[in-house]
Amino acid sequence: MLVTSGTLCAIMLKIRLQRIGRRNDPHFRVLVAESTAGPKSNKFIEKVGTVNPKTKETQLNAERIKYWLSVGAQASGRVHNMLVKAGIIKADTINVLPQKSPVVKEEDEKEEKVEEPKAEAGDAVESADTPEKEEKKTEEAPAEDAKAEEDPKKEEEKSE
């Protein structure tokens, strides 16, 4: 912890990778740095290893890494997995890939968007069947039957 002018500032240390390779030739440094410092800022505390992913060559200073972890430094996901693979720490590996979001089908989206309107207290009084509404229902029913009878005739004409 760092005390500056009477205020208490907690510094979070990270063990992470810094890319130093050219285009199409990646090389990485394993650094101990403050979590607030950007990876390209060159504001790191100590260099504790290097990684060449093309040749699968890793050089790690195990003593210094164990020291920084004991002091409270946190390893990034990929560095944590490298340390487990190298045998420096004993833990399970971490899934560092992002989780896939579930695929939503278009039909499901349409069903979610179409919702039945909720009945309110005032609607319940209006929906009560009155003799006038019953008469309208009986008048509409034969009209619908007539439309149903006309439709097959139209379909036959279209098919010819």
Q: Is the pLDDT of residue 7 over 60?
A: no
Cα 142 from Cα 139, distance rounded (Å): 6
As a whole number of angstroms, the distance between CA 39 and CA 29 comes to: 10
For the cut 80, the answer to whether the pLDDT of residue 141 exceeds it is no
At 5 the pLDDT is: 47
Q: Is the pLDDT of residue 2 over 50?
A: no
Q: Per-residue pLDDT tens for 143-154?
A: 555 555 555 555
Does residue 77 carry a pLDDT above 80? yes
Q: What is the residue-averaged pLDDT of the chain? A: 75
Q: What does the DSSP assignment read for 49-87?
A: EEEETTTTEEEE-HHHHHHHHHHT-EE-HHHHHHHHHHT
| Predicted TM-score (pTM) above 0.75 | no
Query: What domains appear along the chain, each with residue ranges and CATH number?
Result: 2-86 (3.30.1320.10)
- Render pLDDT for 98-130 as a digit per residue (tens, 0 to 9): 888 877 777 655 566 655 556 555 555 555 555
List the one residue out of 43, 42, 47, 9 whose CA is nearest residue 31: 47
pLDDT tier, 41 (very low <50, low <70, confident <90, very high otherwise):
confident
- C-alpha 50/C-alpha 60 separation (Å) is 7
Q: Decide which of 16 and 127 is more confident.
A: 16
Q: Is residue 150 classed as helix, strand or coil in its secondary structure?
A: helix
Task: Band the pLDDT of 50: cuts 50, 70, 90.
Answer: very high
1 — pLDDT class (breaks 50, 70, 90): very low
